[in-house]
Amino acid sequence: MNLDDTLQKVAYDLSYSAIPVLFAITVHEVAHGRVALYFGDKTASLLGRLSLNPLKHIDPFGTVIVPIVLLLLHAPFLFGWARPVPVDFRNLRRPKGDMAWVALAGPVANVAMACVWTMVFGIDKAGFLGTGLLAVWLSKMAGVGILVNVLLAVFNMLPIPPLDGGRVMVGILPHAPARALARVEPYGLWIVLALLYLHVLDFLIGPLVERLGGLILRLFS
């Protein structure tokens, strides 16, 4: 495949992948901010970060450059990140317990979006959208929406701070183990990258993604 063909394929892949990926990370971050606001922290609201406008949440390097480079390199996985919604846990009414709900909100939002994309996928497979190029394009978009949201939900629930699962664990564990786990946060992303590089995450995440995705498909398609 020459360079022109590669670029055309990447452009086509981006055409149906961009919308579900941007919404997956945007709604994930807004969910954190909305739940934080419910429990008393107005930081994200005051900074205008509760908007569904993806531009408010895009990290130029993590959201755009890294995924495009991985696509060009035909990487077996896509990896990236958005600008985290700021949350000042000191403003929460019950900082330790409420932190768990704030952290859990992002993955729950991704599961909800995976359910919506599954319904779109089911409508297409039922033939209601026809059989033309638009139907094929929408089917691909729905497939990406399901996969990306399930993957984000499972990945973010790994019990490693600063991932959401780590913060949920800090919020629900007794104080001594919670403090010990919280001290891992400055090194958490390096731990995740090491697990990713060593393919450990393939064995941890793969089966969970398949099971959660399969359950959602059975319930909502």
Give tens-digit pLDDT for 163-188.
Answer: 999 999 999 999 999 999 999 999 99
Q: Which of 165, 163, 120, 170 is nearest to 141 (CA)?
A: 120
pLDDT of 61 > 60? The answer is yes
Distance CA 181, CA 212 (A): 26
pLDDT at 77 over 70: no
Residue pair 160/204 in contact (Cβ under 8 Å)? The answer is no
Range of 39's domain? Answer: 3-220
3-state secondary structure string, the chain? CCHHHHHHHHHHHHHHHHHHHHHHHHHHHHHHHHHHHHCCCCHHHHCCCCCCCHHHCCCHHHHHHHHHHHHHCCCCCCCCCCCCCCCCHHHCCCHHHHHHHHHHHHHHHHHHHHHHHHHHHHHHHCCCCCCCHHHHHHHHHHHHHHHHHHHHHHHHCCCCCCCHHHHHHHHHCCHHHHHHHHCCHHHHHHHHHHHHHCCHHHHHHHHHHHHHHHHHHHHHC
- pLDDT on residue 173: 94
Residue 107: exposed, middle, or buried by beta-carbon count in 10 A (0-12, 13-18, 19+)?
buried
Confidence band for 72, pLDDT divided at 50, 70 and 90:
low
| Number of domains composing the chain | 1
Residue with more model confidence, 197 or 214: 214
Across residues 45-67, what is the average pLDDT? 84
Instruction: Report the pLDDT value the prediction gives residue 154, as an integer from 0 to 100.
Output: 94
| pLDDT greater at residue 189 or residue 217 | 217
Residue 14 CA to residue 55 CA, distance in Å, equals 17
Q: What is the pLDDT of residues 87-140, one digit of tens each?
A: 998 999 999 999 999 999 999 999 999 999 999 988 877 676 666 778 888 889
Higher-pLDDT residue of 193 and 41 is 41
CB of 178 closer than 8 Å to CB of 170: yes
Look-up of token digits 């297409």: 124
